[in-house]
Each structure stands twice: as structure tokens, then as C-alpha cells.
Amino acid sequence: MESMHAVAVTRSLPVTDPECFVDIDLPVPEPGPHDLLVEVQAISVNPIDVKLRKGAGTPSTPLVLGFDAASVVRAVGSEVHDFAVGDEVWHSGNRDLPGTYSQFTLVDARIVAKRPSSLTIAEAASLPLTSLTSWEALVDHIGLGTLDQRSDKAFLMIGGAGGVGSVAIQLARAITSGPVVATSSRPETAQWCQDMGATGIIDHREPLAPQVKDLGIDGFDGILSAYTPPASALAEIMAPFGHLVMIDGTDSFDLMAFKPKSLSVASESMFTRPQFGTADVAKQGQALARIAQLVENGQIRPTMTRHIEGLTAQHVREATEIVESGGMIGKVVITL
């Protein structure tokens, strides 16, 4: 049986421990009916990877993490008709399957799309997870606008310089002509948000309402939050019938503060469709294809700010350390 190199977790250890990731050899997997076997060319490291490593304990088999990838199709399942061997693709994965920290991986063809030809392999790997999260939040949950019919709604991204924020700002500019505001607390992150297209910047460490008023905005129709402030502070700056989408999750949220304006709140995980095998799972592949069009049109640019060459345990540890630092701007990518 053919084998492949992978980087795995064998027990939960701090990122400072040289053994927190290990280099291993695994058999190359066989694709099921709906799968693509892809050769991974580049990956990016995400906060979800950190969370899963910390919660892994001592897994019964080595845990291969990683979701984002730019890849080449090497084999297709019997039910796959939209892809062929040699296709250059991009994708983010399924929490229930081995990940992309490996030479080869399996991915459901319905959540895959052809990647934009204008991007390098490394640039392409920076976008799938964050762009899908942004798309589902802004288009599916908030209804901020569409590519075919832009709105004039106001949007706020809380945590604008992170991976999701970087893409959400750009996507918002593509689907609404209204104000697109981002929060940041450092000059360098504020500049990054402006470079991504934010029309206004506010500091999330200061009271929000006076800053929003200074921008001349009556209320936000949609807010996407990477780390959620108290509900009362958000209710004050939201328009009636506005939508809040959280990607961080919170164990305490005062829904009563949302009642007077009939505000709604939703959680967003781009893993939901593949993890639960929803009837509309193919919407993810379709969204990635639309995002590829936005990239080719110059409306979304890649968010890679760090590039490491070579998939090794040491390099994955270095990339993870950058993500865990909490001050990351954009994305860190490893090419194979």
C-alpha cells in the first residue's frame, strides 16, 4: 500500500512543546463514491486547528488536523462528475475526517471548487475557510446583499484584521454599497482593515455607540463578530430587525437586550453542512466557485501575510504559534 507523509497530534501538548506535532507516515486513502483524492500543495492554519489540538487529549489514532488547502485532484469517486484528475482546486474540509496536514487527503467533491488561476498556490490556501465563513454569515444569515443585487445596508465586522474579518470586509464591499466598518485596536490592524476596503474604523476597546455616531451611521443592519461584546453594547448600535452573527460562541448573552429592536442572533460554523450531511451541502462548493469569480474580478484579494515552505511538524508548530499569539493579521500559509 502506498504511503504518504503527514503531520499529526498524538497527545494534547502546549505549542511550545517540540512534541506537540509529530511527523508520521500513513497509507494513502481510497476515495469513496462522492470523494476526491487530492494531492495537497498548500495549507493554512486556522484557530479551529488550535482548538481541536487543545481538546484532542490522547487520540486512539494520530490526529491529522487542517482544513484549508489548495490541491490537485489525483483520483475521483464513482459518483463524481464535475472534476477530473489534474484539476487544480481549493477547499475547506469536514471536522469528522482526517485533515490537510498531509500529502494527500480525501474531500467531498460537493464542497470543492476550481481555484482562481490568478492566485499562487500559497495565496489560494489562505482563503477557503474564511471566505466560506464570511459568505454564510453575510449572504445566508444576514442577507446583506448578493453579487447580482447589491443592497445599501450597513455592516460592521468586529475583529477586522483576522482571517475571517479580512475576507468579510471585502465580501461586504462587493454586496452592499452601504458603510462597511471594521473594529481594530492597533494602528497596523486599522491600516490592514482599510487596505481590505473598510470605509470606517472603530476601536473595540472603547465605547462603540459614540464612535458609530461620529461616523454618521444610525445603526448596523448586520454585524459579524469574531469576539462578541456584551449584548447591550451591540443592541445600541444595531438597526431595528438587524442581525448579529457570532463565530466565537459565548456562554453568556443577554437576549433580552435584543428584544426592543427585534434583533436576531445566529452562530456560524462553515463545518455544519459537511458535518451533518445537509441536503444543501453542495452550496459550499457553489459558494467557493462564486468566491473564485470575485477573486478573478479583483474584488477579493488573498489574505496571506506569512509563508512557510515545507510541511513538517516543526513548521506546523511555528505556524500554530503565530496563530495562537492572538495578534495575527491575515493568514499564515505552509506550502508543501
**pLDDT in the model for residue 252:** 82
Ordered alpha helix ranges (H), the chain? 47-54, 121-125, 128-135, 163-175, 187-196, 208-214, 231-237, 272-276, 283-296, 313-324
Rounded CA separation 166/161 (Å) = 5
- Give the CATH superfamily of 1-127+280-333: Medium-chain alcohol dehydrogenases, catalytic domain (3.90.180.10)
| pLDDT tens digits for range 11-30 | 999 999 999 999 999 999 99
User: Parallel, antiparallel, or unpaired for β 220-225 and 88-91?
Assistant: unpaired
**pLDDT in the model for residue 150:** 94
| pLDDT tens digits for range 67-117 | 999 999 999 999 999 999 999 999 998 888 899 999 999 999 999 999 999
CB 144 within 8 A of CB 179: no
Same fold, 1-127+280-333 and 129-265: no
CB 49 within 8 A of CB 316: no
Rounded CA separation 50/101 (Å) = 13
Quick one: which of 140, 145, 105 has its CA closest to 125?
A: 105
pTM, two decimals, is 0.96
- Give the CATH superfamily of 129-265: NAD(P)-binding Rossmann-like Domain (3.40.50.720)
CB 41 within 8 A of CB 10: no
For the chain, what are the domain ranges?
1-127+280-333, 129-265
Collect the ranges in the chain with pLDDT lower than 50. none
Bridge partners of residue 222, in order along the sequence: 155, 243
| pLDDT tens digits for range 194-207 | 999 999 999 999 99
Bridge partners of residue 35, in order along the sequence: 108
